[in-house]
Structure 1
């Protein structure tokens, strides 16, 4: 039976293998070069064109082309050929200098570089600085905040709550509980102008306060439905009323596992007595400074951005009515949040971050 031509064998030197492995790890820049490197590495392991094509979901002709190009020109055969057009005006050394300056220094008159200040400092065009920053994912104007929990039981609490999310117990309801306190009833000092073609909605910068409300919410892990309760104050008394509401709405034959923070209102003698009289309630406390572990915080963010942030209320009663209406609409078509990371993933990520900041020299 006739067979097609056999693929060209590939034998790599140590330097070639090291370079191909380096190229293959690229994720954003030079993604095409990364894939070509993986093809050659797979071919060097003895894979056929058909096997490699199936493995990387490519056309067999593509695999054959890059195998042949490597055999013919080695590493140079994988690099894109120069395209016609204006030659580069910035050398690799200048790009390296720009990146080093961006990462390791700051201007004398500011906390971070801008494209204009960096361009003036290095004698480049602003567009060149902007293109290089985009290519390397640099954004000096952005900053993110973080905080590490100092809870001595951090690891145990993470494993407890994440285990509850990933493998909830049978015949039980898992509820993520928290309070959104001091929700303000705000009204703009002038009517809001509606959006028009070419013009966004416009609202006055200043506002009038008409009081506050506190929202207690319990997010059902399985269904995404929310049990909500609004109160004028935020004390253990109101939390006790909310527990009784949950008790009334959850079927008697189900255990109730509550994920909640370490607020003092959750641990008063009166609350402890109520919990002792209702043993089906099991509390799981998040570590201190770790509200990100409580999924109801994600729901609070949606409530804020989709309803509260741009609405106006002339009274607390109007605010409460709006919140109740929004919860009802949510519960008509609830969307559960799906937790995916394991406790090991989280703890490993935090450990890696701690090592990075410990080695930073600060």
Structure 2
């Protein structure tokens, strides 16, 4: 047990000045504070709880102070450790990591041990990766198939279409969507101890919408079929025609879905007075959908 009152008045004034000083480092001021509290009669356990430390640390500080004085205890001797890998090895490791996606440090640590003969713990490997500029994150999802050539061809076609568009013509983008109605609780600020609740739906209510959009005037005709199919596609084309009685030609751009080129759509387009001109996107380009 450490007895109180072991500090002389001059020693106590010196430590109090350190605690109140704005120039003293945080760690140094904490040590001075701990020695003062010990001198006040507080236990190592109580001080450790107050400073969020362990009591052995407080005892170690007291021992250093009694044996070597404040000058020894006030020195912050912590220094960063030297990397166990050379600069060339770290460069080689970075190149290896850039060429693959490692989901854990197990593979990385095994590679370091095999190639460089250096063994890292899990935490040590995490620090190494952070110092080398790597972070643990989820990759961004990209479309399954991406075709830069088809994108460029579509953009060129679309620009030529707009540049040559007559006053009696219009352009619509069309597609089908299937939103679902479902309650999804989310995080928010509530009173501590309360137990908020939200009523959930009994099932997943799905809505089918087959719609189109004119980017010039933002006209958005749509139908709500029970099932999205060739019938709903023909109904949508009929609605687009009905909303544009003054247009001689209406260009409709939509994807290559089977119901967009089935018998119902072909029958609709075969009418003598049909004013719809379909432009179907090439297959395997889902990222070009309107």
TM-score (norm 2): 0.52
Taking the TM superposition and a 5 Å limit, the aligned residue runs for 1:1-362 are 89=83, 91-104=86-99, 112-114=102-104, 118=108, 122=112, 123=120, 124-134=124-134, 141-142=138-139, 144-148=141-145, 159-160=153-154, 162-165=156-159, 167-168=161-162, 169-171=165-167, 172-181=169-178, 183-187=179-183, 192=185, 195-196=188-189, 208-277=202-271, 278-294=273-289, 296=290
Task: Describe the shift of the 1:280–1:158 C-alpha distance in structure 2 as closer, same or farther (beyond 3 A).
Answer: farther
Is the contact made by 2:146 and 2:287 (CA closer than 8 Å) also made in structure 1?
A: no
Q: Structure 2 CA distance, aligned partners of 1:186 and 1:126?
A: 40
Report if the CA contact (8 A) 1:161-1:286 is conserved. no
Q: Deviations over 1:284-324 (max 9, x none)?
A: 11111212112x2xxxxxxxxxxxxxxxxxxxxxxxxxxxx
Assess if the C-alpha contact under 8 Å between 1:157 and 1:285 holds in 2. Answer: no
1:264–1:125 distance in 2 versus 1, CA, 3 Å: closer
Cα displacement (A) at 1:196: 1.0
Gapped regions of structure 2 (runs ≥ 5) = 1-78, 113-119
Change in CA separation of 1:229 and 1:131 when aligned onto 2, cut-off 3 Å: farther
Change (3 A) 1:176 1:276: same
Q: Secondary structure at the residue paired with 1:250?
A: coil
**Offset of 1:262 from its aligned partner?**
1.8
**Structure 1 counterpart SS, 2:259:** helix
Assess, with a 3 A threshold, how the Cα gap between structure 1 residues 193 and 146 changes in structure 2: closer, same or farther.
Answer: closer
Mapped to 2, the partners of 1:131 and 1:251 lie a distance apart of 66
CA distance in 2, matches of 1:254, 1:116: 66
Looking at structure 2, the residues matched to 143 and 174 of structure 1 have their Cα atoms a distance apart, in angstroms, of: 33
Quote how far apart the aligned CAs of 1:251 are.
4.1
* Inter-CA distance 234–142: structure 2 relative to 1 (3 Å threshold): same
Distance verdict in 2 for CA 1:156–1:104, change over 3 Å: closer
Structure 1 residue runs of 5 or longer lacking an equivalent are 1-84, 107-111, 297-362
CA distance in 1, matches of 2:82, 2:213: 56
CA contact (8 A) 1:148 1:289 kept: yes
Q: Secondary structure at the match of 1:231?
A: coil
Cα deviation for residue 88 of structure 1 reads 7.7
The verdict on how the C-alpha distance between 1:131 and 1:256 changes in structure 2, with shifts beyond 3 A counting, is farther
Distance 1:208 1:258, change over 3 A: same
| Distance in 2 of aligned mates of 1:139 and 1:225 | 45
User: Equivalents in 1 of 2:106, 2:150: separation in Å?
Assistant: 49
Q: Determine the C-alpha separation between the residues in 2 that align with 1:208 and 1:118.
A: 47
Larger radius of gyration: 2
